[in-house]
Structure 1
Amino acid sequence: MGMAIDFKRRFGSGGGGGDDVAAVAPSEEGDEKGGGVQRSSTATPGSALGVGDAQLHRKLSQRHLNFIAIGGTIGTGFFLSSGTALAKAGPAGCLISYVFVGTILWSVMVSLSEMATYIPTAGAFSVYATRFVDPSLGFALGWLYWFSWAITYALSLTAAGLIIQYWNEDFNIGIIIAIFWVVFTAANYLPVRWFGELEMWLSMLKVITIVGFMIFAICMTSGVGDEGVIGFKYWNDPGAFKEYMVEGSVGKFVGCWAVLIQASFAYQGAELVGVGAGEASDPRKTVPRAIRTTYWSIMFMFVVSIFLITMCVPSNAPDLLTEASNASASPLVIAAQRAGVKVLPHIINAVLLTAVLSAANSNVYSGSRILLALAEEKQAPQIFKKLDKRGTPIVSVAVTAAFGLLGFLNLSSGGAKVFNWLLNISGVAGLITWASTCVAFLGFMRAMKAQGMSRDELPYKSPFQPFVAYYGLFFNVLITLTQGFTVFIDWSTAGFFAAYISLMIFVVLYVVHKLVYRDSFVDPREADLVKGRLTYGAESDSS
């Protein structure tokens, strides 16, 4: 096929001032209870809300936000790469790594929730970094994050072609790329409510499949299938931990750390609920609930599924290390085959197809909103702020979607090498975004303190701050710096640049912007806590 892409690795991944903006009015239920949003206009929950000159329509409900994030997170990284994670670290090492990364994600999500509820804006990450920390940080973060989603769109389209080849190896991938590029680019020009509905149903299929696998796995470990009662058999033989690259206890730790990095890539996309905050109806209620629901839903599905996979499939199963990029590489399929179920590979392959298509849908949405946010902060050409009457950023969608055509590079071996290098940017970009979100939150807290504003005035107050943000910042930076550690154990110059190209680009973007614009770090006394905010009463939520 001429396909040189390392899909197993890729699937492991997966301001200025302004006037106070009128708040979206609360629901009737909120009015009856008192408190809530203080209306300074006649806006309704479905009306347009000004963010600078742009008018994004607030039409996304909590369930839309939930499924946009779930659609961007649960994809081929879960269905395929969880098998290689088991093979590297063993059942206990694999489970520990996924749970630990889940705690890091929680620190990011609650920090994001506090800012996104007070100032709900499209492209939240770069906006908060620009306003509360450093414009150069917002610039570098925004452009890197946008590029990662634009390139991931091309990956999703290519993956769809490979998955379809499971049923027909002679099918031309180029045709699939072209068809789905047209379909999902067009879908992103629909009114945002329709887009949210489409994403919800695509994501729902993945959720149903995961729940179905949980039920199947419980039955399998209890004795249903060819292998009889399994229980914790594979935790004892071949063992709870595996050595990876080096021998002994160090090798077991290396295996856990390698999976920890892989899990970090797999969880990425959960933060997309923050991108959708700029189009959420009644953000005071919608955003905190959506972030909490998204986090716990993803954690439950990831951790429980990984735990059941470790019970159903031994870590030394040879099929776990296959280079296939379709259902045959999925541990869900391997478990079914060991139980004697023959039809499941075709079902899983169909779900894989919906997974990558759902991801493709989210890729264009998130990338276009980041581009819009960059234009709003005057860090991108102002043409990207152009919206149609339905509130769709038409130019930003077009430019982001155009990068999906890079998927055609995979039709030749030389082009596939170029594409593989571009894809190395996407995984680490998510970690940089998580770390920068924690930095922005610390800047947000510092600005509030300097301007005499109590956190009790916020509509949502996250717990255990600022310690939670420091926790997330430390481990995100640590994982970002060490995610390519295997190249130092078995040195590879090409592998080094492939692992750290994203970090290099981020540093270059930051330094160039700093040298050109000479922006200083944001003075907390002058940080913009006004533009785009929603004005609330004293009542606040906490969790």
Structure 2
Amino acid sequence: MEKTQEADIGTKMIGDESSGSPTARGSFHDVEKHSSEIGTTVQLKRRLQSRHLQMIAIGGTIGTGLFIGSGGALATAGPASTLIAYAFVGTLVFSVMVSLGEMATYIPISGAFTAYASRFVDPSLGFAMGWIYWFSWAITFALELTASGLIIQYWAPDLNIGIFIGVFWIVISALNFLPVNFYGEVEFYFAMIKVLTVIGFLIFGICIDAGAGQHGYLGFHTYGNPGAFAPYLVEDNPALAKFVGFWAVLITAGFSYQGTELVGIAAGECANPRKTVPAAIKKTFYRIFFFFVGTIFFLGLLVPYDNPNLLNGTTDAASSPFVIAAQLAGVKTLPGLINAVLLCVVLSAANSNVYSGSRILVGLAQEGAAPQILARTTTKGVPYVAVSFTAAFGLLAFMNESGNGGEVFDWFVNITGVAGFISWTCIGISHIAFMRALRARGASRDELPYKALWQPWLSYYGVGFNIIIILTQGFTAFMPWDTSSFFVAYVSLLLFAVLYIGHKLVCRTKFVKPIEADLDTGRKEVDEMYFEEVVPTTAWGKFWAWMG
């Protein structure tokens, strides 16, 4: 990595990527002081490097949605529909990422989503958005703990699942009480396991499809038998049934992608955000999109959508399409290995859940949308109250003690998936308002530290389709009417509406006028920071610098 200078800031950064621990000169050590004085990032420390930022997003995204949930999507829609659904949702994620990138690099603060919505659109929107997003990650934490217990039961079926849920709840919660740079290192290596697994599967898929398996050359045989598109629910209209299958898996795809926006949350704890955040956003999206679309493509080639194991109701290696693909190819030693990888996947995702949820609470508290006690931090910059509150909701995983684990898994997937789409919609709306605020001040988007392509049309595209998906994703509850399914499909939307309307009525908030939008708080102190960059000299340091 060459020595660079940020002309737009007039600053330099010091950070040795070989150790992953930044040191500071000038006013770098005063970031927390400046932040607490103006009320933007409380006392969180800017200790995350670009490689941490990317792997936090990748680690929070590549989880059970890809390794397990993709099997149910394949069974519902077929290989072609599932591939199209994941690619389509990927374009929506892209619109969210670039929109968030413009705002997060211009104003890199903690709890960014809530702050942007409150500043540019409506304080009530920031309140409702922040709490629904926090709710999403808190519930997802319970989901990942549920999955961890079921995964361990693969090896020890006679032991109670509650034992493993309790043990992993303690471990993950404890990790999040450590300084953020330690969290970043743990998540970095966890995410590396995921990335290597996905890359390994892509290579495996190419080899098996080309003829290395017990059945010889496969090609696109699954597209012919049982077919590329699976009919779903509708019986008298084949074409409509296939479209219904495609639309039904959009929430699963959305749940799988959820977490890419974590780059924006971590901006408030990132060293030199003007440089690292844009790079992390671009690289993170392209890598995740490649991993997801590539994985779904090869799963569709190797596993027929009518394979009974895709819908066996479990959440361990037995129902993972990765394992099913290996079994069909005649590879018998892979299930145990995949199960071990799944455990790392789940623990990594759970780790990200508590981190992201706690930082959202910090942002809410800083904006006055949550009790101020949630903003309290340790001397190391850890928001211990917010971490404790978020981690407590992981105890919902003990619901498995009174019901079927697979059923609980499905409920959690639907609830969190819809909450993710709501958050993406609010990010897009915030970005549209952000651009209007810039125009009202006579500022050009050309002056932004990171300027995205195809704006504002890309934000309109993302907001429009996200709203359509949110409103229509529960259509299966009407075919025929099922009260329980309706509640699962729309509980997140109902909760969001209650939060928004309740806050609006109580606080009497008004929509923010573009000319009055706060574009300065949280930006000026970043502009004033003095950084000095040190080029890594070791081979190991250069490797991580290249990765970041």
1:523 and 2:507 aligned: no
Matched residues in 2 for 1:109 and 1:198: separation? Answer: 24
Q: What is aligned with 1:164? A: 152
Matched residues in 2 for 1:124 and 1:226: separation? Answer: 51
Note the alpha carbon deviations across 1:311-360, whole angstroms, 9 max, x for none. Answer: 11122222222211110111111111111111111111111111110011
Aligned residues of 2:146 and 2:405 also touching (Cα < 8 A): no
Q: What amino acid does structure 2 have at the position aligned with 1:275?
A: I
Q: What is aligned with 1:295? A: 285
Note the alpha carbon deviations across 1:251-297, whole angstroms, 9 max, x for none. Answer: 11111111223211211111111110110110011001111111011
Q: What is aligned with 2:164? A: 176
Matched residues in 1 for 2:378 and 2:271: separation? Answer: 19
Q: What amino acid does structure 2 have at the position aligned with 1:217?
A: G
Q: What is aligned with 1:95? A: 83
Q: What is aligned with 2:134? A: 146
Measure how far apart 1:425 and its partner are. Answer: 3.3
Q: What is aligned with 1:268? A: 258
**Over aligned residue pairs, what C-alpha RMSD do you find?**
2.1
Give the alignment partner of residue 124 of structure 2, picking from 136, 147, 155.
136
Distance 1:423 1:90, change over 3 A: closer
Q: What amino acid does structure 2 have at the position aligned with 1:377?
A: E
Give the alignment partner of residue 357 of structure 1, picking from 339, 342, 347.
347
Matched residues in 2 for 1:378 and 1:517: separation? Answer: 11
Q: What is aligned with 1:236? A: 224
Aligned residues of 2:114 and 2:364 also touching (Cα < 8 A): yes
Q: What amino acid does structure 2 have at the position aligned with 1:172?
A: N
Q: What amino acid does structure 2 have at the position aligned with 1:517?
A: C
Distance 1:458 1:386, change over 3 A: same
Aligned residues of 1:70 and 1:270 also touching (Cα < 8 A): yes
1:407 and 2:397 aligned: yes
Runs (4 or more) in structure 1 with deviation over 4 Å come to 414-424, 534-537
Q: What is aligned with 2:35? A: 50
Aligned residues of 2:113 and 2:427 also touching (Cα < 8 A): yes
Q: What is aligned with 2:459? A: 469
Q: What is aligned with 2:545? A: none
Q: What amino acid does structure 2 have at the position aligned with 1:405?
A: L
Distance 1:375 1:280, change over 3 A: same
Give the alignment partner of residue 85 of structure 1, picking from 73, 93, 96.
73
Q: What is aligned with 1:494? A: 484
Give the alignment partner of residue 48 of structure 2, picking from 60, 71, 77.
60
Q: What amino acid does structure 1 have at the position aligned with 2:309?
A: D
Which segment drifts farther, 397-406 or 96-105? 397-406
Distance 1:210 1:415, change over 3 A: closer
Aligned residues of 2:209 and 2:217 also touching (Cα < 8 A): yes
Q: What amino acid does structure 1 have at the position aligned with 2:144?
A: S
Aligned residues of 2:314 and 2:405 also touching (Cα < 8 A): no
Q: What amino acid does structure 2 have at the position aligned with 1:74?
A: I
Measure how far apart 1:421 and its partner are. Answer: 6.0
Instruction: Please list, as runs of the form range in 1=range in 2, the aligned pairs for 1:43-442 lying within 5 A after superposition.
Output: 43-44=27-28, 48=32, 50=35, 52-53=38-39, 54-246=42-234, 247-413=237-403, 424-442=414-432
Distance 1:88 1:416, change over 3 A: closer
Note the alpha carbon deviations across 1:387-416, whole angstroms, 9 max, x for none. Answer: 111111111111111111222232123999
Q: What is aligned with 2:4? A: 30
SS at match of 1:80: helix
Note the alpha carbon deviations across 1:197-242, whole angstroms, 9 max, x for none. Answer: 0001111111111111111111111111211110111112222212
Measure how far apart 1:424 and its partner are. Answer: 4.7
Q: What is aligned with 2:532? A: none
Matched residues in 2 for 1:206 and 1:219: separation? Answer: 20
Matched residues in 1 for 2:10 and 2:163: separation? Answer: 50
Matched residues in 2 for 1:369 and 1:315: separation? Answer: 40
Matched residues in 2 for 1:37 and 1:371: separation? Answer: 32
Matched residues in 2 for 1:441 and 1:248: separation? Answer: 40
SS at match of 2:215: coil
Measure how far apart 1:59 and its partner are. Answer: 0.6
Note the alpha carbon deviations across 1:32-81, whole angstroms, 9 max, x for none. Answer: x7444459x93238953615441211111111111111111111110112
Matched residues in 2 for 1:421 and 1:215: separation? Answer: 33
Aligned residues of 2:314 and 2:406 also touching (Cα < 8 A): no
Measure how far apart 1:82 and its partner are. Answer: 1.3
Matched residues in 2 for 1:237 and 1:410: separation? Answer: 37
Matched residues in 1 for 2:233 and 2:75: separation? Answer: 12
Q: What amino acid does structure 2 have at the position aligned with 1:50?
A: S
Q: What is aligned with 1:11? A: none
Distance 1:277 1:34, change over 3 A: closer
Aligned residues of 1:45 and 1:282 also touching (Cα < 8 A): no
Aligned residues of 1:459 and 1:536 also touching (Cα < 8 A): no
Distance 1:497 1:115, change over 3 A: same
Which segment drifts farther, 156-165 or 528-537? 528-537
Q: What amino acid does structure 2 have at the position aligned with 1:200?
A: F
Q: What amino acid does structure 2 have at the position aligned with 1:189?
A: F
Matched residues in 2 for 1:474 and 1:83: separation? Answer: 28
Matched residues in 1 for 2:404 and 2:217: separation? Answer: 49
Matched residues in 1 for 2:280 and 2:337: separation? Answer: 30
Which segment drifts farther, 78-87 or 478-487? 78-87
Give the alignment partner of residue 482 of structure 1, picking from 451, 472, 481.
472
SS at match of 2:28: coil
Q: What amino acid does structure 2 have at the position aligned with 1:164?
A: I
SS at match of 1:406: helix
Which segment drifts farther, 54-63 or 363-372? 54-63
Distance 1:212 1:414, change over 3 A: closer
Q: What amino acid does structure 2 have at the position aligned with 1:442?
A: I
Aligned residues of 2:255 and 2:416 also touching (Cα < 8 A): no
SS at match of 1:174: helix
Matched residues in 2 for 1:145 and 1:34: separation? Answer: 35
Q: What amino acid does structure 2 have at the position aligned with 1:375?
A: A
Which segment drifts farther, 349-358 or 527-536? 527-536
Matched residues in 2 for 1:296 and 1:64: separation? Answer: 16
Matched residues in 2 for 1:489 and 1:499: separation? Answer: 13
Q: What is aligned with 1:505? A: 495
Matched residues in 2 for 1:476 and 1:392: separation? Answer: 34
Q: What amino acid does structure 2 have at the position aligned with 1:82?
A: S
SS at match of 1:489: coil
